[in-house]
């Protein structure tokens, strides 16, 4: 179990809230990502906390950490993609279920079945699906339609603090739009091995040159999200 000392009581309490209670749990997340999660949770931290976290993994006192190891950790910290504490699994699955309803609506109209919902402070402010065929517009992906709705609802093209739930990993076009909108968290269902821009082909959200602000999490209800797509393409091949 992680204890205090060496960790400060507030740090230990925050780690417990994140579900990190043991060295094994810390190792699974990594010292740098854990440090960033603690900062994202609202703690004010110094570099010494990062040294403490890594020292717990190494099994050595922080004061014995070599300078080259500190340099390595600082470089990893600088280049690490955005992180965030994500909602509980049940909450993410609930909102992904609403996105799946949108995907089913998309399939009924002959569009590739992808759905998206945008959530602000636990309230859905936009629900959308693909309308590329109906609108004769290649840009009418579910994410783009949802961003337009949410912007109108919030009266702001920037959606700071909002989450988006998408049944399919976003493409490069949609990933770029989500970053421009400053969406806080992207939660998607199925990966897209052909065009996915959240890790499958490229991870635009992790490229610090693009001034990214958005954390991503995939695999929420992924089997259900895949099934919607599979049924759609099976029916198209039959008919």
Instruction: Give the residue numbers annotated as catalytic, written as ranges.
Output: 143
Query: 4-28: b or e for each residue (b if 16 or more CB lie within 10 Å)?
Result: eebbeeebbebbeebebeeeeebee
125: number of CA atoms within 13 Å, CB side?
A: 20
* Structure tokens belonging to residue 113: 């079945």
Question: Which residues does residue 187 pair with via DSSP β-bridges, in sequence order?
Answer: 165, 217
Q: Which two tokens stand for residue 29?
A: 């997340």
Strands 185-190 and 215-217: parallel
Rg (CA), the chain: 20
Q: Rounded distance, CA 45 to CA 125, Å?
A: 34
Q: What is the arrangement of strands in the sheet containing 185-190, beginning at the earlier edge strand?
A: 123-129, 115-120, 163-168, 185-190, 215-217
If we measure between CA atoms, which residue out of 199, 133, 128, 119 comes closest to residue 167?
A: 128
Q: Are 179 and 212 in contact (CB under 8 A)?
A: yes
Residue 157: DSSP 8-state? S
């Amino acid at each position: 179990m992680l204890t205090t000392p060496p960790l400060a009581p507030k740090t230990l309490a925050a780690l417990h809230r994140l579900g990190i209670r043991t060295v094994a749990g810390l190792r699974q997340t990594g010292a740098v990502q854990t440090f960033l999660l603690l900062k994202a949770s609202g703690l004010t931290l110094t570099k010494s906390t990062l040294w403490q976290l890594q020292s717990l993994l190494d099994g050595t006192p922080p004061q014995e950490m070599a300078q080259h190891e500190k340099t390595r950790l600082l470089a990893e910290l600088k280049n690490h993609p955005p992180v965030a504490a994500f909602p509980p699994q049940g909450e993410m699955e609930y909102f992904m279920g609403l996105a799946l309803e949108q995907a089913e609506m998309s399939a009924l109209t002959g569009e590739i079945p992808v759905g998206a919902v945008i959530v602000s402070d636990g309230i859905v402010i936009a629900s959308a699906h693909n309308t590329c065929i109906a609108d004769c517009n290649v840009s009418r992906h579910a994410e783009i339609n949802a961003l337009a709705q949410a912007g109108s609802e919030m009266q702001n093209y920037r959606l700071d603090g909002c989450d988006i739930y998408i049944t399919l990993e976003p493409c490069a076009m949609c990933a770029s739009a989500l970053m421009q909108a400053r969406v806080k968290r992207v939660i998607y269902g199925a990966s897209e091995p052909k065009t996915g821009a959240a890790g499958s082909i490229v991870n635009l959200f992790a490229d610090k040159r693009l001034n990214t602000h958005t954390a991503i999490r995939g695999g929420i209800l992924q089997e259900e999200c895949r099934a919607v797509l599979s049924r759609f393409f099976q029916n198209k091949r039959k008919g």
